[in-house]
Structure 1
């Protein structure tokens, strides 16, 4: 993929959060790597809104005087596509649903994420998606929501690898050297701080407009 093949960047109508707005830490054990991001609170956003959002990313919305896919608004520069491959048993996005997500970190095609994940948890406490290989955890992204006076505190954890025998022997190495080598992991942390921060700029209005009208 070249830069010419990326979707055209959407207008950026608000400042993107800098890495300094969050606290980022990293831990390694038995070949696993866990990156924890403690985001600055999302002003005016509730856990209910976040649970709704992660269940309703597909769809369109008005933005910058036009209509765009919601996923392309979530990060106006890096996001490429977001596809519901297999709905949850009750329909739509929920535990058991499978997603195909594509994004180019920093609009750099060399840092392309093209991954199929399964939704493991979704509710007002948080959202979890994971990529597994032969039952072994390769990549797992956890977002934990906690209400605070100003809105919601979101803590994200990206887990690469797991404690299984196959993980220690093979897949942890794949996760940390091929799926997310160190430079790509740093770019992902910056991207994730930006995309989570963007939610406070459009989600409250979108939730008020659409919640109750979409299953």
Structure 2
């Protein structure tokens, strides 16, 4: 129990430090759900749930910056909203100070490449809560692609692939366009379809999808506030 209490205290501290840095930078407010250009939630005949979001453009960010962000999402920084003289906080909490818990690199790349967040062929764990008190996420992800155009990973549970999340991005006049697509469900014939219709809806329903849409819009919108100063100091991260 004491260890759990300590974890809660550390999480609270990280969230408050991240919020303080964002407030100091004048960017504590999230983008609203209405900022998205287009959203859609649908379920296929086999029970797979599809959630699609065409985000507002991420201003002041390039595709290469976006790739670097995902590659380093497990790192920490001393950015305090103005300079780099503050206390240590995680990139992940700066991205969403209210909902994020942690991202943990679990394995290195296929050839031993270091994994500081996500890396093609490597596994990472994500822990977060949608809108702080709703659905909890605690899953292992296998990154299948991460480059200057796309970041895709598979969601693994009980040795099975139970979902896929794809992010695509490209240059625009003011930054980048950003599209996120989530598939929840198994594509294994018969067994997977039964799982999709009768088990997964208890874990990830259309209501959960609505919570995820809000969360994803908030964290994606936050990118333009925190990524430019961190990327400018990228040579200082070892």
Give the TM-score normalised by structure 1.
0.89
- The answer to whether the 8 Å contact 2:96/2:219 transfers is yes
Counterpart among 100, 105, 111 of residue 130 in structure 2: 105
Compute the RMSD of aligned alpha carbons: 2.3
- The answer to whether the 8 Å contact 1:59/1:70 transfers is yes
Alpha carbons of 1:123 and 1:172: their partners in 2 closer, same or farther (altered >3 Å)?
Answer: farther
1:149 paired with 2:173, answer yes
Counterpart among 100, 103, 108 of residue 79 in structure 1: 100
More strand by share: 1
Structure 1 residue 134, shift from structure 2 partner: 7.2
Counterpart among 126, 138, 142 of residue 118 in structure 1: 142
Alpha carbons of 1:171 and 1:43: their partners in 2 closer, same or farther (altered >3 Å)?
Answer: same
Say which SS state the counterpart of residue 131 (structure 2) adopts.
helix
Counterpart among 43, 57, 65 of residue 73 in structure 2: 57
5+ residue gaps, structure 1:
none
Give the TM-score normalised by structure 2.
0.81
Work out the CA distance in 1 between the residues paired with 2:88 and 2:31: 24
- The answer to whether the 8 Å contact 2:169/2:178 transfers is yes
Structure 1 residue 162, shift from structure 2 partner: 4.1
Work out the CA distance in 1 between the residues paired with 2:187 and 2:94: 36
Map Cα deviations across residues 152-203 of structure 1 (whole Å, 9 max, x no partner). 001000101243303213246433331x122222111100100011000011
5+ residue gaps, structure 2:
none
Matches within 5 A, 1:1-215: 5=8, 7-8=11-12, 9-10=15-16, 11=19, 12-13=22-23, 14=27, 15-22=29-36, 23-29=38-44, 30-61=46-77, 62-64=79-81, 65-89=86-110, 90-92=113-115, 93-108=118-133, 110-132=134-156, 136-165=160-189, 166-171=191-196, 173-178=198-203, 180-210=204-234, 212=235
